[in-house]
């Protein structure tokens, strides 16, 4: 598909093609195949600051570009100005590949020569191809440029890469590769979103480490993948969240997730079903929305990415939206994953700010949500519905809106038991029902804090923690549901008929 699309792109009436990618080798391979299969495209030449201008890509080599062999180069043309002068004066019917050339376009003379070569396109039929990990096109040549985006290997292509690397390792070592089918499938699934070169490198790392593909390799691959793709500090990453799949409560949410799990994890099984988009979790502070977000990742066995809106904002106009796009692109590369947008109303408030940044961020996010076809499942949490833009709540943006209420009596007993045991106490030594009744308006976070404070009090008295210590702390604490009773009641009223309860 890339080869076909690249041929079409090279035939577009644009003298400059810009390709942003880390997979330089793949670009050279595609250009070599394109010019070999379609002679009307012209001859492929490559310039390198280290080697100069080559005399045409062929099968014999005196130098290499990212592992691609080329014929002899003119070493005296390592200077970009001299090279461009020769191209302008002598080169015709050529595709000229210029790797990492963005460094030189800040030079006015270089930029001018590039523009002059581009202006002669219909006379000399020379196309300049810029390839770099990032490329900001100068305004002077912007209208002369077209962009080409390499597609990432599909899951079947990655599966074939694994087979090839496994066969190569077995042949070299005279041993059979170990590994179970589930671990191999997980590895393949988590390599989706990487370039062919990066996927191949991770596969080799997993195999050559111990001659086996195991579940321990999956975390190592995802950790490395995150370090490589993380969106400028705006995204944090957690992988092993299996324990959160066992949390109590959230029965309706868990059932909903289980129904969609196979369709999310394996895009090949969709058979006409839409890919799950995401959910909104609304509720009072401390009622377990964050826990629910982690539970989604735990139930599906995928990484959890947390988007920090505060890290996105920049004082320069347009930079915040750019940061958001980069963060979302990183999330796409880390698919399959859960993208948690905590307290989303603070990042895209419906209130107006002087610069209009919030509205532009909202527009960028809504566009991505509408166009996203990658396995990135959004979990947005919110405390203040008054600040939520109505566009975000429209059906179709996300799959469902859930309301997370304060825990009931049974849930409160479970919460007390969990947090007591977490701190080395046996729940059976406490009157859990009595504690749960006393904490009728408490959130899970407030119950935990009551246990923490009671522990300090018990230690100060030289006594082991007991039921009375916790009851004392509950008696002296005013929960948020009481302090802000009106807002909690208003939230419940709004949620009724508009949302689905998680339990």
Return the DSSP state at 256: H
Given a cut of 50, is residue 36 above it in pLDDT? yes
Q: Find, among 77, 136, 78, the residue nearest to 111 by Cα.
A: 136
Q: Give, in order, the Cα–Cα distances in Å from 62 to each of 71, 91, 188, 199.
A: 6, 22, 36, 28
Confidence label for 59 from pLDDT (cuts 50, 70 and 90): very low
- pLDDT at residue number 62: 37
CA torsion sign, 464 to 470 to 473 to 479? positive
- pLDDT at residue number 217: 82
Evaluate whether 155-228 and 238-404 have a shared fold: no
CA distance 491 to 299: 28
Percent of the chain whose pLDDT exceeds 70:
89
CA distance 499 to 503: 12
Rg (alpha carbons) of the chain, rounded to whole number: 29
Helix or strand run (H / E) with residue 17: strand 16-20
pLDDT digits (tens, 9 = 90+) for 432-470: 999 999 999 999 889 999 999 999 999 999 999 999 999
Q: What's the whole-model pTM score?
A: 0.68
Question: For residue 406, what are its two tokens?
Answer: 């304060």
Burial of 48 (0-12, 13-18, 19+ CB in 10 A): buried
Given a cut of 50, is residue 61 above it in pLDDT? no
- pLDDT at residue number 180: 80
Across 162-176, 354-368, 455-469, least confident range: 354-368
- Collapsing DSSP to helix, strand or coil, 239 comes out as coil
Question: For residue 334, what are its two tokens?
Answer: 């880390």
Q: Find, among 319, 335, 125, the residue nearest to 234 by Cα.
A: 319
Given a cut of 60, is residue 351 above it in pLDDT? no
Q: Please check whether residue 239 is in contact with residue 190, taking contact to mean a CB–CB distance below 8 angstroms.
A: no
Average pLDDT of the chain is 85
CA distance 442 to 25: 59
Where are the domains positioned within the chain? 2-147, 155-228, 238-404, 409-483
CA distance 144 to 172: 49
pLDDT digits (tens, 9 = 90+) for 111-140: 999 999 999 999 999 999 999 988 889 999
Residue 26 Ramachandran class (φ > 0 left, ψ -120 to 50 alpha, else beta): alpha
Mean pLDDT score, 307-312: 82
- pLDDT at residue number 65: 44
Virtual torsion, Cα 23, 329, 188, 211, nearest 10 deg: 60
Mean pLDDT score, 420-443: 94
Given a cut of 60, is residue 367 above it in pLDDT? yes
CA distance 377 to 331: 10
CATH of domain 409-483: 1.10.8.60
Q: Please check whether residue 463 is in contact with residue 469, taking contact to mean a CB–CB distance below 8 angstroms.
A: yes
Given a cut of 70, is residue 76 above it in pLDDT? no
Q: Give, in order, the Cα–Cα distances in Å from 18 to each of 128, 130, 329, 402.
A: 8, 5, 18, 44
Confidence label for 42 from pLDDT (cuts 50, 70 and 90): very high
Query: What are the residues facing 178 on neighbouring strands?
Result: 212
Question: 25-39, 47-61, 292-306, 351-365 — which one is most confidently predicted on average?
Answer: 25-39
CA distance 249 to 444: 12
Mean pLDDT score, 51-79: 55
Exposure pattern of 328-348 as b/e (b: 16+ CB <10 Å)? bebbbbbbbbbbbbbbbbebb
- Collapsing DSSP to helix, strand or coil, 322 comes out as helix
Q: Give, in order, the Cα–Cα distances in Å from 256 to each of 15, 100, 251, 272.
A: 52, 48, 9, 19
Q: Please check whether residue 260 is in contact with residue 276, taking contact to mean a CB–CB distance below 8 angstroms.
A: yes
Fold of the 238-404 domain: Rossmann fold (3.40.50)
**In terms of DSSP bridges, do strands 68-70 and 63-65 run parallel, antiparallel, or are they unpaired?**
antiparallel
Q: Architecture of 2-147 per CATH?
A: 3-Layer(aba) Sandwich (3.40)
CATH of domain 155-228: 1.10.8
Virtual torsion, Cα 22, 27, 28, 34, nearest 10 deg: 180
Q: Give, in order, the Cα–Cα distances in Å from 203 to each of 155, 206, 385.
A: 14, 5, 45
> Which long-range CB contacts under 8 A does 41-44 form with residues at least 24 apart?
41/7, 41/10, 41/11, 41/95, 42/92, 42/93, 42/94, 42/95, 42/125, 42/126, 42/127, 43/93, 43/94, 43/95, 44/94, 44/95, 44/97
pLDDT digits (tens, 9 = 90+) for 250-272: 889 989 999 999 888 876 566 67
pLDDT digits (tens, 9 = 90+) for 460-487: 999 999 999 999 999 999 998 899 899 8
Q: Give, in order, the Cα–Cα distances in Å from 464 to each of 415, 467, 472.
A: 20, 10, 14
Inter-axis angle of helices 357-371 and 319-333, nearest 10 = 30
- pLDDT at residue number 68: 43
Confidence label for 243 from pLDDT (cuts 50, 70 and 90): low
At 281, phi and psi to the nearest 5? -115, 120
């Amino acid at each position: 598909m890339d080869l076909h699309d690249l041929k079409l792109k090279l035939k577009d009436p644009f003298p400059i093609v810009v390709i942003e990618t880390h997979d330089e080798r793949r670009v050279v391979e595609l250009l070599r195949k394109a010019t070999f299969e379609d002679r009307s495209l012209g001859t492929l030449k490559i310039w390198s600051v280290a080697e100069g201008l080559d005399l045409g890509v062929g099968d014999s080599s005196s130098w290499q570009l990212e592992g691609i062999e080329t014929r002899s180069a003119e070493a005296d043309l390592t200077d970009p100005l001299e090279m461009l002068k020769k191209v302008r004066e002598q080169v015709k019917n050529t595709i000229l590949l210029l790797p990492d050339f963005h460094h030189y376009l800040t030079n006015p003379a270089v930029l001018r020569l590039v523009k002059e070569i581009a202006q002669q396109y219909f006379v000399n039929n020379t196309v300049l191809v810029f390839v770099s990990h990032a490329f900001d096109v100068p305004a002077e040549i912007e209208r002369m440029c077209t962009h080409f985006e390499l597609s990432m290997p599909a899951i079947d292509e990655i599966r074939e890469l694994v087979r090839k690397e496994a066969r190569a390792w077995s042949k070299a070592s005279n041993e059979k590769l170990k590994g179970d089918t589930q671990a191999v499938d997980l590895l393949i699934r988590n390599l989706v979103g990487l370039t062919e070169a990066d996927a191949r490198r991770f596969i080799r790392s997993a195999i050559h480490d111990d001659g086996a593909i195991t579940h321990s390799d999956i975390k190592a691959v995802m950790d490395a993948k995150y370090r490589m793709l993380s969106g400028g500090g705006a995204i944090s990453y957690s992988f092993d969240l299996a324990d959160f799949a066992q949390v109590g409560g959230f029965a309706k949410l868990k059932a909903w997730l289980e129904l969609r799990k196979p369709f999310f994890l394996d895009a090949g099984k969709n058979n006409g079903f839409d890919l799950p988009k995401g959910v909104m979790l609304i509720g009072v502070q401390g009622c377990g929305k964050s826990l629910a977000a982690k539970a989604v990742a735990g139930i599906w066995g995928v990484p959890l990415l947390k988007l920090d809106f505060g890290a996105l904002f920049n004082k320069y106009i347009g930079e915040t939206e750019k940061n958001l796009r980069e963060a979302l692109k990183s999330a796409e590369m880390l698919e399959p994953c859960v993208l948690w947008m905590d307290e989303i109303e603070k990042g895209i408030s419906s209130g107006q700010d002087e610069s209009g940044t919030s509205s532009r961020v909202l527009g960028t996010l809504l566009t991505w949500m509408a166009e996203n076809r990658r396995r990135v499942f959004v979990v947005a949490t919110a405390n203040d519905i008054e600040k939520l833009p109505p566009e975000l709540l429209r059906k179709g943006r996300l799959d469902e809106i859930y309301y997370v209420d304060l825990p009931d009596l049974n849930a409160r007993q479970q919460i007390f038991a969990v947090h007591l045991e977490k701190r080395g106490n046996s729940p059976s030594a406490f009157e859990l029902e009595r504690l749960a009744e006393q904490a009728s308006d408490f959130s899970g976070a407030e119950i935990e804090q009551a246990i923490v404070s009671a522990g300090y009090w018990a230690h100060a008295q030289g006594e082991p923690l007991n039921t009375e210590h916790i009851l004392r702390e509950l008696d002296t604490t005013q929960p948020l549901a009481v302090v802000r009773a009106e807002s909690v009641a208003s939230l419940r009223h709004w949620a009724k008929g508009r949302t689905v309860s998680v339990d």
